[in-house]
Structure 1
């Protein structure tokens, strides 16, 4: 990443932090998008609070889906679990089969309104990228490397934690990165079922025909996605560099 790219990303981070903590400073930029004396800045809640709530539900759902997907990926790449690979693939594909709105519609009668149905939708949508990348990363470990580890006296558990997972980590991180970005965007619809998040700003703008609100919610989500995508990408490249792998193999 060049110095200019880092400068732009640092500027975007500062801009985002200023906007969600002191949005009134940017009122002049959004006033041309309002009509009939409508407020230029979202005034039905704290943008900072909504952003933190949005990130919180994304983090929790991603953490849960990563734990399950990683566990399944490890299990089906072991000799005792290979026969369960087709079943595991079917399970993690459930989230991609139904639209997020359909998942929410099914979850609300079961768990009620709020964060829970949103968590379920994000959890299901986050499984597939991490699971598939875990499979890819583990299967890419060369048999020669495993044989060398075995020749050194490592048992299967040691080979997994000291050889396979470290070598597969850059690819697994790429799957987690994709899962996070999907969840960041999908979480906006959680506001339709009373979950706190940046979707509130967008929905408020649509209901009041206030383009400024819609743009504010969309811009914050977009900047979060870009910054988190880049941050996780840097982590992948760092890990790949430590392993002596070209960065473009995992990007």
Structure 2
């Protein structure tokens, strides 16, 4: 009982501390002041931490949503009889994001798209395709045969089986890929500030430029806390979906 209760208590405390820091960062100045140089600002003062966090999350959400649509659509295509031959090509396409580091993608995208959020979205989109695509393939490959046969026996069309049976059953595994993509994108999005995107990387870069460890710690801790909370929340949704589909006994 205690083992189940404590993690939820710890998560609630982490969420409370994160929200408190974002809304009233000055309250934490005494804790961070030893990390700042004399007469240097302790709390990031070149913008709102709450606004930067929301913009950071928006960038990650847009990129992940686009990657999910493309990756799941490709996985559906290559798992249909008429699209099986495109599997090697699809794998090559989704591996592009892992082949080129995000920094290289940003460097290539800036001359075309300009500075700002767009190059960052491209980098995160490409980087997020692979885990979602591979997990979707795994989800379809591990579907229970008897359930699919029952759906065919009930007279369902291919489209009906996809939307009513295959996708719901594969959703926990697909969501695991989305979770991995989100967590990686949260960390990777910080480099978007090198091309003028409004992310929490702005706080970290400002700290590095001014040799202000307090700034660096603020940006890093916010990203880390958000990543932990999102990872935890998506994991909880996965467990709920797995229980509903009968894939978990927990």
TM-score by length of 2: 0.97
- Which runs of 5 or more structure 2 residues have no equivalent in the other structure? none
The separation in 2 between residues aligned to 1:183 and 1:217, in whole angstroms, is: 15
Deviation (angstroms), 1:36: 2.5
CA-to-aligned-CA distance 1:187-209 (integer Å, 9 cap, x gap): 00000000001000000000000
The separation in 1 between residues aligned to 2:249 and 2:150, in whole angstroms, is: 25
3-state DSSP of counterpart to 1:39: coil
Deviation (angstroms), 1:244: 1.8
1:95, 1:124 within 8 Å by CA — same for their partners in 2? yes
Match 1:72 to one of 65, 71, 74? 74
- What count of residue pairs does the alignment treat as equivalent? 248
Partner of 1:121: 123
Cα RMSD (Å)? 1.0
Partner of 2:112: 110
CA-to-aligned-CA distance 1:26-68 (integer Å, 9 cap, x gap): 0001000111311111001000110000000000000000000
Partner of 1:246: 248
1:62, 1:179 within 8 Å by CA — same for their partners in 2? yes
**Is the aligned partner of 1:163 residue 2:165?**
yes
Partner of 1:60: 62
Deviation (angstroms), 1:215: 0.3
Partner of 2:147: 145
1:237, 1:247 within 8 Å by CA — same for their partners in 2? no
Partner of 1:186: 188
1:133, 1:175 within 8 Å by CA — same for their partners in 2? yes
Partner of 1:27: 29
The separation in 2 between residues aligned to 1:223 and 1:211, in whole angstroms, is: 18
Match 2:135 to one of 133, 136, 144? 133
3-state DSSP of counterpart to 1:237: helix
Partner of 2:85: 83
3-state DSSP of counterpart to 2:82: coil
The separation in 2 between residues aligned to 1:5 and 1:197, in whole angstroms, is: 29
